[in-house]
Structure 1
């Protein structure tokens, strides 16, 4: 059974990511100390791990031309590790099963890094056809 606080945390996080994205669209692609403090409260040690991933610019966002569907690819700690990430729902890393599913944490570090990269406009954006996106998903 999912922890009852997880939907509330996700809801608060959604609003916070939207706030960060609005400030980024206004020309200030940074996180304020207040936003960082709130993110730290929500995500604890996963935030520092996600910020390390973001710092290394290891987040790619594939967007399908027609449908505008997005899927992220986040590089793991090892160079060879690439994870498919749907920021609100799924990550292909092993930790996702233990950290998110098994222990009722809201997001793994890869999901959090993808959400931060998107909000801060710091992901490598790649536009592909819907067919190519489908092929990429099958390959991931």
Structure 2
């Protein structure tokens, strides 16, 4: 699931939970209740919000011919955020405040939704040119 070359990794317990969830989805096409409870225990209300984003199919993997990939997540507020799964980054204010500044959370709901959409295989896919991907990334920077 996670890129083997990623420098930044999630805590082992989260990695293991996501791997177990992926195996369960592959085997029975659903996530067992005990895994959902563990997810809620680790991430609190963000877990429910992330699952809601997955249910709404709000996550899109955007890839370009050069192999670059970013995730775009349509948040519950209607704003679109850029997520980089390889380094657990999101462009949302909650990530900057709760994850980076206060260290209250491991991830924001958008990044968690990205991982859950990978586990549940519900991520939408969009292929764009390298130039289009650069424009998508630059739009986000200019709006910030």
Structure 1 unaligned segments of length 5 or more: list them: 1-6
Instruction: Call closer, same or farther: CA 1:20–1:129 in 2, change over 3 Å.
Output: farther
Is 1:72 the counterpart of 2:71? The answer is: yes
User: Which residue in 2 is equivalent to 1:13?
Assistant: 14
The structure 1 segments of at least 4 consecutive aligned residues displaced by more than 4 Å after TM superposition are none
Partners of 2:24 and 2:32 within 8 A in 1: no
TM-score by length of structure 1 reads: 0.79
Instruction: Give distance in 2, aligned partners of 1:132 and 1:27.
Output: 37
RMSD: 2.2
Q: For residue 86 of structure 1, report the CA deviation from its aligned partner.
A: 1.4
Instruction: Give distance in 2, aligned partners of 1:54 and 1:34.
Output: 19
TM-score by length of structure 2 reads: 0.77
Instruction: Call closer, same or farther: CA 1:65–1:107 in 2, change over 3 Å.
Output: same
User: Which residue in 1 is equivalent to 2:111?
Assistant: 111
User: Which residue in 2 is equivalent to 1:4?
Assistant: none
- Residue 74 of structure 1: SS of its match in structure 2? strand
1:43-92 Cα deviation digits (max 9, x unpaired): 1111011112112111111133452x43110011222x100011342101
User: Which residue in 2 is equivalent to 1:120?
Assistant: 120
Is 1:82 the counterpart of 2:80? The answer is: yes
Instruction: Give distance in 2, aligned partners of 1:90 and 1:129.
Output: 22
Aligned length: 131
Instruction: Give distance in 2, aligned partners of 1:56 and 1:62.
Output: 18
**Mapping of residues 18-97 of structure 1, within 5 Å:** 18-24=19-25, 26=26, 28-67=28-67, 69-79=68-78, 81-87=79-85, 88-97=87-96
User: Which residue in 2 is equivalent to 1:137?
Assistant: 137
Partners of 1:29 and 1:121 within 8 A in 2: no
Instruction: Give distance in 2, aligned partners of 1:133 and 1:27.
Output: 35
